Structure 1
Amino acid sequence: MSRKFYMSVLILLMSVTLILSGCGTKKEPKEALQSAAATAMKMDSYVSESQIKLTDLTIDTSSSPELGAVYSMLKDAEINLTQMYQRDPMQTEASLEVKLTGDFSTTITLQFVMTKDKVFIKIPSIPFLPLPENVTGKFLEFDLKELAESNAESFNPDLLDTDKTQKLVAEIANVILAEYDSEKFIKDVDPKELTLPEGFKAKQVVQFYITNDTFKDAISILIKEALPKALDIVAKDEYREMLQLTPQDIEDAKKELGELNEDEFQKDLDEMQKVLKINEFTFNTAIDKDNYPSYQEMNMDVEFSDPDTQEKLKLAMEMNSKFTSINEAPNFKIGIPQDAITMEELEQEMNSFGY
């Protein structure tokens, strides 16, 4: 399979993880998750706040000073994303904050604005990457139509079409969840077990979870049962063209999955289980009184160990996301930039700065 196909699948799987969400009245857990995508489609506008935080990163860096520097930066790293979205007329603005620690301790903030036709990115001030003062703080403007024409092989503006991508993710989420047994992977949990945002009351909380004992089954279901059905969805013209895949790409992927050697596959899973230990992997979705998936959280704690070298790596992280102001008139803070600069203007300034 092509590199392009793998990247598309990775983006889809990440998106599926982020969109798992709630239901209407309290239902059987699996049914609640399967109805989540349809519920999410009703959000014509919202404000979302998300956080990803590394709570533990333990690795032996004694043999690699370069790795030690990277480790120092990433340990306790935190990513915060605030987004405001409106479906019609399409407008999104977002602020991404990346906090790094260690010798290069710094906070980098990126701001984005997107409409149906354009994307604006605010040029940040980065301590270890000096930029001309007269461009930092300004927005860089990209015309999506021009970008598509100049990068026909590598960029499709449909990938930024929120409605289309949400619809695709919803269909993918449904077929994947349909393959997982409620008795082993999906359950209701008491809302009291979660630290919910202040003022938020959950009508139902559903948890998708994988344990060390069910890890092999989870991967096997994903590869052998869920992915072939997900490929049928991706094969639809509107999605395939959006992901810039050819019919042959889809057929090649299906063929490779169909020719999977069962003995070798199980051997690979056994080897993986020898090096991977799952202490926790849970994804909770809290549904509010209006049946919206207004709060989600993921907790992951895994360990990797090399049986030959005895080297170990431990990774623990938390992710949470909440939605507010659903279907309310958005109060955009940035708005559509009126004094943005073009890429040509940026290049001129960078050249005069010595780059």
Structure 2
Amino acid sequence: MSRKFFMSALILLMSVTLVLTGCGAKKEPKEALKSAAVTALNMDSYVSESQIKITDLKLEGESSPEMGVVFSMLKDAEINLTQVYQKEPMQSEASLEVKLTGDFSTTITLQFVTTKDKIYVKIPSIPFLPLPEKAVGKFLELDLKELAEYSGEEFDPDLLDTEKTQKFVAEIANVILSEYDNDKFIKDIDPKDIELPEGFKAKQVVQFYVTNDTVKEAISILLQEALPKVLDIIAKDEYRAMMQLTPEDIEEAKKGLEEMDQNELQTTLDEMQRYLTINQFNMNTAIDKDNYPSYQEMNMDVAFSDPDTKEKIQLALQMKSQFTSINQKPTFSIGIPTDVMTMDEFLQEMNALGY
């Protein structure tokens, strides 16, 4: 496929990534989202369940056999993530399940435990990636301070400061949402119009949406209006250090935006519309009675087509995420692992297998 084709895909994915950082008496839609994002900072503990499911994936036109295998594996693929979190003392555990289909149909499950200074990863059994028998089922213990020393850097505990991360995300969500027009991108929808989790009662459901007619404007707003303000937030000392950026990095990024040729940008966006078709793109945030954005779903159905080569990719997926047990005493099913293996021990076992 052509370079322009992939540039169109990259621009769309970048805009989706930034928009999705926004968290979710009835309020004006945009203000309801901002308020819910602030309230989310008060979540000291929770259980979250998320699912991403590819509902349609097609490749039309000439392609290699390898690409055919990849598309076969990803079609109907499903990712499920369950997380239990508490703020003090900092502890979280997560279970990630990846279901692949096609000729290489398999399910891979990964488990993670995070504390203030360590990460534990359960070594999985993967059919097409043989791992040492002595390692499978044990938790790989990663001491973050030691890892930083090995790489010649100083460990920054802010990297695992969830409270600071939540505040950072809320600030970014606020400035991005502020740039988008209520009448064109954000609206209230009837809770009956979406499939809410059983027993969930929504005080308000707000939808952020982009259509084929507004995608050019949406990306233009993101690049020209929102991103400069996002960089101002990242430039704050506490966030810049957390992201391990220097003042020079921020200035270079700002300079790049300032020097962006507006005519070239508009030409690129016009060209993008030759390749990209948005059949559906929306993000629904359901706000509960306590003003928490407790449920979100994203629906995306897009097509990338190259008019010159006639190649076309159709992609549709749905993402769902729900928070429960907010600020209740969490129950950790894994706990702090004791059957552990250090990185040195793991590497010795890998070397013994010839890796």
Q: TM-score, normalising length from structure 1?
A: 0.93
- The separation in 1 between residues aligned to 2:173 and 2:323, in whole angstroms, is 19
CA contact (8 A) 1:16 1:170 kept: no
Question: Matches of residues 8-27 of structure 1 in structure 2 within 5 Å?
Answer: 14=17, 17-21=20-24, 25-27=25-27
Distance 1:141 1:19, change over 3 A: farther
**Number of the residue aligned with 2:112:** 112
- The separation in 2 between residues aligned to 1:163 and 1:13, in whole angstroms, is 24
**Number of the residue aligned with 2:243:** 243
- Aligned identity (percent) is 72
CA contact (8 A) 1:16 1:172 kept: no
CA contact (8 A) 2:144 2:155 kept: no
- The separation in 2 between residues aligned to 1:156 and 1:279, in whole angstroms, is 43
Opposite residue 134 of structure 2, the aligned amino acid is N
Tell me the matched-pair count.
343
**Number of the residue aligned with 1:130:** 130
Q: Kindly provide the CA deviation profile for residues 254-302 of structure 1, in whole angstroms up to 9, marking residues without a partner as x.
A: 1111112111111100000111010110000001112111100000000
Is residue 252 from structure 1 mapped to residue 252 from structure 2 by the alignment?
A: yes
Distance 1:13 1:214, change over 3 A: closer
Is residue 205 from structure 1 mapped to residue 208 from structure 2 by the alignment?
A: no
Q: Kindly provide the CA deviation profile for residues 304-345 of structure 1, in whole angstroms up to 9, marking residues without a partner as x.
A: 110111111111000000010000000100000012110011
CA contact (8 A) 2:54 2:76 kept: yes
| Unmatched tracts of structure 2, length 5 or more | 1-12
**Number of the residue aligned with 1:169:** 169
Higher mean C-alpha displacement, 108-117 vs 287-296 = 287-296
Structure 1 residue 61 displacement after superposition:
6.3
- The separation in 2 between residues aligned to 1:166 and 1:272, in whole angstroms, is 33
Higher mean C-alpha displacement, 163-172 vs 227-236 = 163-172
- The separation in 2 between residues aligned to 1:273 and 1:13, in whole angstroms, is 16
Is residue 195 from structure 1 mapped to residue 198 from structure 2 by the alignment?
A: no
Opposite residue 32 of structure 1, the aligned amino acid is A
Structure 1 residue 121 displacement after superposition:
0.2
Instruction: Give the 3-state SS of the residue equivalent to 1:341 in structure 2.
Output: strand
**Number of the residue aligned with 2:82:** 82
Distance 1:195 1:263, change over 3 A: same
- The separation in 2 between residues aligned to 1:62 and 1:210, in whole angstroms, is 30
Structure 1 residue 13 displacement after superposition:
7.1
Structure 1 residue 160 displacement after superposition:
2.8
- The separation in 2 between residues aligned to 1:12 and 1:247, in whole angstroms, is 24
Higher mean C-alpha displacement, 162-171 vs 84-93 = 162-171
**Number of the residue aligned with 2:66:** 66
Q: Kindly provide the CA deviation profile for residues 69-95 of structure 1, in whole angstroms up to 9, marking residues without a partner as x.
A: 111111111000000000000000000
| Unmatched tracts of structure 1, length 5 or more | 1-9
Aligned-CA RMSD value? 1.8
Higher mean C-alpha displacement, 144-153 vs 10-19 = 10-19
Opposite residue 139 of structure 2, the aligned amino acid is F
Instruction: Give the 3-state SS of the residue equivalent to 1:195 in structure 2.
Output: coil
CA contact (8 A) 1:96 1:110 kept: yes
Q: Kindly provide the CA deviation profile for residues 39-81 of structure 1, in whole angstroms up to 9, marking residues without a partner as x.
A: 1101000000000000000103643011011111111110000
- The separation in 2 between residues aligned to 1:132 and 1:172, in whole angstroms, is 43
Instruction: Give the 3-state SS of the residue equivalent to 1:33 in structure 2.
Output: helix
Distance 1:189 1:12, change over 3 A: closer
Instruction: Give the 3-state SS of the residue equivalent to 2:48 in structure 1.
Output: strand
Instruction: Give the 3-state SS of the residue equivalent to 2:119 in structure 1.
Output: strand
CA contact (8 A) 2:76 2:101 kept: yes
**Number of the residue aligned with 2:310:** 310
Distance 1:110 1:157, change over 3 A: farther
Structure 1 residue 12 displacement after superposition:
11
Opposite residue 353 of structure 1, the aligned amino acid is L
**Number of the residue aligned with 2:159:** 159
- The separation in 1 between residues aligned to 2:104 and 2:317, in whole angstroms, is 21
CA contact (8 A) 1:62 1:68 kept: no
